[in-house]
């Protein structure tokens, strides 16, 4: 039995796989004002559709729908089967508030009430 597939058949299989990945992923990459769909993501990187996504490089933001997940520094790895794979050089989880530069006790008061000295 031969494992060789004609180019037309392989291209059709790759196109069908990409359509399935596009429909199932909510992840997005944002570069400046442009947004591109992420097909797959893992701990060390992600893939995007090679045909419609320009070459990405540098600092990007990763979103799940409208939720900002990570700010990442990326480098292009390789293209295969219609997908372009990127590896993370750095991936920092996004936070909705600024980090504290001091320790806040869990039972600390939220605010202090002053009194009128008079």
Domain hosting residue 69, numbered range: 26-93
d(CA 87, CA 110) in angstroms, rounded, equals 42
Confirm whether 35 is domain-assigned.
yes
What number is the average pLDDT over the span 24-30?
Answer: 82
CA atoms 66, 70, 71, 73: torsion sign: negative
Confirm whether 107 is domain-assigned.
no
Identify the top-confidence range among 66-70, 77-81, 85-89, 110-114: 85-89
Confirm whether 65 is domain-assigned.
yes
In this structure, what CATH number is given to the domain that contains residue 80?
Answer: 2.40.10.430
Do 70 and 91 contact (CB within 8 A), yes or no? Answer: yes
Distance of CA 1 to the CA centre of its chain: 41
- What per-residue confidence (pLDDT) applies to 84? 92
Confirm whether 111 is domain-assigned.
no
Per the model's pLDDT, the better-predicted residue between 17 and 33 turns out to be 33
Asked whether residue 115 carries a pLDDT value surpassing 80, the answer given is no
What number is the average pLDDT over the span 58-81?
Answer: 90
Instruction: Tell me how far CA of residue 40 lies from CA of 17, 19, 118, in angstroms.
Output: 12, 12, 66
Confirm whether 17 is domain-assigned.
no
- What per-residue confidence (pLDDT) applies to 50? 87
Domain total for the chain? 1
């Amino acid at each position: 039995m031969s494992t060789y597939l004609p180019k037309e058949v392989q291209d059709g299989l790759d196109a069908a796989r990409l359509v399935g990945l596009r429909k199932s992923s909510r992840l997005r990459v944002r570069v400046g004002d442009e947004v591109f769909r992420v097909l797959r993501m893992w701990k060390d990187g992600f893939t995007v559709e090679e045909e419609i996504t320009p070459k990405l490089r540098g600092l990007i933001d990763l979103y799940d729908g409208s939720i900002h997940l990570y700010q990442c520094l990326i480098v292009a790895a390789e293209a295969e089967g219609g997908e372009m794979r990127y590896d993370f050089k750095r991936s920092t989880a996004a936070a909705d508030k600024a980090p504290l530069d001091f320790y806040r006790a869990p039972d600390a008061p939220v605010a202090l009430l002053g009194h009128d000295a008079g």
